Amino acid sequence: MRDGATRILLQTTIPPTDDDWSIARFGLLHQLLAGAVDAEGRPLYTVEARDRGPLGAPDPVLSRLDESDFDQLWLLAVDVGDGLTEQDCEGVSRFRQAGGGMLVTRDHMDLGSSVCTLGGVGAAHHFHSRNPEADPGRHVRDDEETQAISWPNYRSGANGDYQLIRPIEPVHPVLIDPASPTGVLRYLPAHPHEGAVAAPGGARAIMTGRSQATGRDFNLAVAFERDGHGGPAIAESTFHHFADYNWDLSRGCPTFVSEVPGHGMAREPGALADTHRYVLNIAAWLGRRP
């Protein structure tokens, strides 16, 4: 194992685009990870943040990720289904098979559906047109506010608000918080239309949210432990848990976002503190590639 800080790649699945969810809209996540230090003040992580290369060709980093010295991939799937080529998925899958840690997150309906073919972790992500949820009773709208968005679109709250999360026993390490009155995390940013994740073989759901529209519970995250098949991984229901706009509304959003925001994150300091702890817990748990 090499010395020094753990190397993290923050990567979106779209080319640089000002009016979209490009990597520039995850600057606070980047700052948080890059600013984390150990007890001696040494950086815990070095972070590279980038958008993918041009569509229609293998991404020069993802397609050869297994040959890199990155320890973790935080893949922010913000595409409409064309964000990863076959070569990209193969490179990322080999990376995990070699022990690399991964967080893979997406959003509503078919947003981010190019992750479906990622080895192991892709199977945890359910979309409208690809790999839909097994229960046909969930093939219905949850959030009705934005009619252009169909299922899965679980409403955990407005952008800018927080949601109460429900850890599943036994509580996973990424949800532990010794500073919390309950010993576990309580809040994450809310979003009007979260996507769907479920646990395939070898994984388990670790927390749920509850729809403010229907009262229906839904999974927020699924965890894959490090095993003989590959490194640890987290499959997440929405990249909005990590987006600047959902941490701080003043950071702005793409012009196509039309929903009325809330202000709960600004009014409840514990919500942002829990979100930060969740991010740092994930980075610590994903660890380093052997």
- The model's confidence at residue 1, banded by pLDDT at 50, 70 and 90, is very low
Instruction: Report the DSSP pairing between strands 162-164 and 187-189.
Output: antiparallel
* CA atoms of 115 and 135, how far apart (whole Å): 21
What is the reported pLDDT for 2?
58
Three-class SS string for the chain?
Answer: CCCCCEEEEEEECCCCCCCCCCHHHHHHHHHHHHCCECCCCCECEEEEEECCCCCCCCCCCHHHHHHCCCCEEEEECCCCCCCCCHHHHHHHHHHHHCCCEEEEECCCCCCCHHHHHCCCHHHHEECCCCCCCCCHHHCCCCCCCCCCCCCCCECCCCCCCEEECEECCCCCHHHECCCCCCCECCEEECCCCECEECCCCCEEEEEEEECCCCCCEEEEEEEECCECCECCEEEECCHHHCCHHHHCHHHCCCCCCCCCCCCHHHHCHHHHHHHHHHHHHHHHHHCCCC
One-letter amino acid of 246: N
- Residue 13 sits at φ, ψ, to 5 deg, of -110, 20
Task: Answer yes or no: are the C-beta atoms of 84 and 114 closer than 8 Å.
Answer: yes
The single residue listed with the structure tokens 């935080």 is: 74
pLDDT in tens, 97-114: 999 999 999 999 999 999
What is the reported pLDDT for 3?
67
* CA atoms of 232 and 229, how far apart (whole Å): 10
What is the reported pLDDT for 243?
98
Residue 266 CA, distance from chain mean position: 21
Task: Answer yes or no: are the C-beta atoms of 105 and 237 closer than 8 Å.
Answer: yes
Q: Report the chain's C-alpha Rg in angstroms.
A: 18
Mean pLDDT across 7-31: 98
pLDDT in tens, 121-167: 999 999 999 999 999 999 999 999 999 999 999 999 999 999 999 99
pLDDT in tens, 176-202: 999 999 999 999 999 999 999 999 988
What is the reported pLDDT for 194?
98
- The model's confidence at residue 19, banded by pLDDT at 50, 70 and 90, is very high
pLDDT in tens, 249-277: 999 999 999 999 999 999 999 999 999 99
* CA atoms of 269 and 266, how far apart (whole Å): 7
Residue 13 CA, distance from chain mean position: 13
One-letter amino acid of 112: G
pLDDT in tens, 215-248: 999 999 999 999 988 999 999 999 999 999 999 9
Task: Answer yes or no: are the C-beta atoms of 192 and 286 closer than 8 Å.
Answer: no
What is the reported pLDDT for 66?
97
